[in-house]
Structure 1
């Protein structure tokens, strides 16, 4: 049975949402996990921070701890 053309546009293709999310994730530097090693912290973050070099990613926020009560920290 053939369907008649109504002149409307066809529906958009189905997109695999998991595939989209995987491709949008930023490249995270070594040590970016819950428990980085001391070496990873020093080499990839603290040396750069001390020399005012840009950090590998901007996902780590800087917070002035003295402006907040502990329960208000992000």
Structure 2
């Protein structure tokens, strides 16, 4: 694993005996790694931000439509 990590310029956010957590754009980190060297990428974006399309900010109604990726399937 050390040979893969040598190319990553970003400092780990958290490190344990058997994993390393980076708080970064995964595409930047993955671009430095060889193919087939990653077991898992855990992504947890803040889903359902759109809240029906509108919210109130500073007394004004504003659109918060984040697109199709933020729609509920339920």
TM range, smaller chain: under 0.3
Name the structure where helix makes up a greater proportion of residues.
1
Q: TM-score, normalised by structure 1?
A: 0.22
Name the structure where strand makes up a greater proportion of residues.
2
| Structure possessing the higher radius of gyration over alpha carbons | 1
Q: TM-score, normalised by structure 2?
A: 0.22
